[in-house]
Amino acid sequence: MAEHEDLSKRSAQRLRVARISVEQLGLVTCRQLHGLGLSERSSSRRLRSGQDEIVHRGVHRVTGAPGSYEQDVLAACLATGGVASHRCAARLHGLRGFDREERIELTVSSRRASRLEGVTAHETRFLESTVLGGIPVATVEQTLLGLADVAPRKAEGAVNSALVKRLTALPRLVQFAGRHSARGRGGLVVLRGLIEEQVRAGGATESWLEDQVVEFLRQRGFPPPVRQYRVGRWRLDLAWPERMVNFEADGRLWHTSPSDRRRDVARDAALGGIGFRIERIGWLELNEDPDGLEARLWRCYENSGRGRQVKLPNIKAAA
């Protein structure tokens, strides 16, 4: 009878361990095992029998659980008490430019994470965090602040991405920056500049190519355009309404259909009919002939007349 009860107890413990590991991407901590009533000897027996394997000190992976980047991040968080942040958090939030990020980057309240191989640790006393897919992660706003500090060249695209995906909004970013203004945070000046640019520009870019075109125009000395400017039912990528000029980032060189192309032609013709000049910018030209592209865009910009700002709500887009 006692042996039967012991077997039942172990079966119940294994079931509870399995439930925890499912919620934690195949991971379980020694503290959680002890909380379920498993002794040090029982935990060691799980390792010897091949049920578990050590990932970090105090963190086990259940044998057979599929590995992933997210699992590696969570294992580091469980081992340190840290929160995924900076470029690591940018990937977890799905921000533009970080989909292939391999770094595991945490923010912690101590130096513990610095002893983990392959983990970059940041220390702070002020961190706004949430939970994403079971992983403790910096909020989108906190992530953007971290990116402004460690990856400023990619931070603008990440801000645009977060706004387009509605992961945050400009008022929330302004409030966040205000909360952190007195704390001397790295990256805060850069983040404030990006927020001010969003307010000036009128809208967020919607693709990686638009980010590249905006940076190209900035480097080549073009006046800042208005982004996502509305004319009737259309939104123009990068417009100078007073000159009736629009530059379109055309990222559909190969992955497009004839009907898409026909709609683009009809749209450009309709806008041309009311006085807008449209110049389309493709990735190949941007990267293979930037000087020729600059000359073409300057000709368009400088040869366009100065007119009044126009909004045409009654214009119908071509089908």
CA separation for the pair 134, 176 (Å, rounded): 24
Mean pLDDT: which of 13-22, 181-190, 282-291 is highest? 282-291
Distance of CA 122 to the CA centre of its chain: 19
Find the length of the chain.
319
H helical segments located in the chain: 2-23, 30-35, 40-48, 69-80, 86-93, 140-150, 152-164, 170-179, 188-201, 208-219, 258-273, 283-288, 290-303
Q: What is the pLDDT of residues 110-146, one digit of tens each?
A: 655 557 888 999 988 788 999 999 999 999 999 999 9
Q: What is the pLDDT of residues 211-257, one digit of tens each?
A: 999 999 999 999 999 999 999 888 899 999 999 999 999 876 544 56
68 band by pLDDT with thresholds 50, 70 and 90: very high
Residue located via tokens 């500049």: 193
311 band by pLDDT with thresholds 50, 70 and 90: very low
- Classified as helix, coil or strand, 120 is strand
Supply 162's token pair.
């977060």
Distances (CA, A) of 296 to 23, 265, 278, 281, 285: 56, 19, 12, 10, 11
Distance of CA 258 to the CA centre of its chain: 32
CB of 32 within 8 A of CB of 20? yes
Distances (CA, A) of 56 to 79, 112, 113, 251: 6, 12, 11, 43
CA separation for the pair 169, 249 (Å, rounded): 24
Q: Which domains does the chain have, with CATH numbers?
A: 16-62 (no CATH), 81-200 (no CATH), 205-303 (3.40.960.10)
126-130 — which CB contacts under 8 Å span 24+ positions?
A: 126/180, 126/183, 126/185, 127/83, 127/85, 128/176, 129/83
* Angle between helical axes of 170-179 and 188-201 (0-180°, round to 10): 150
CB of 17 within 8 A of CB of 29? no
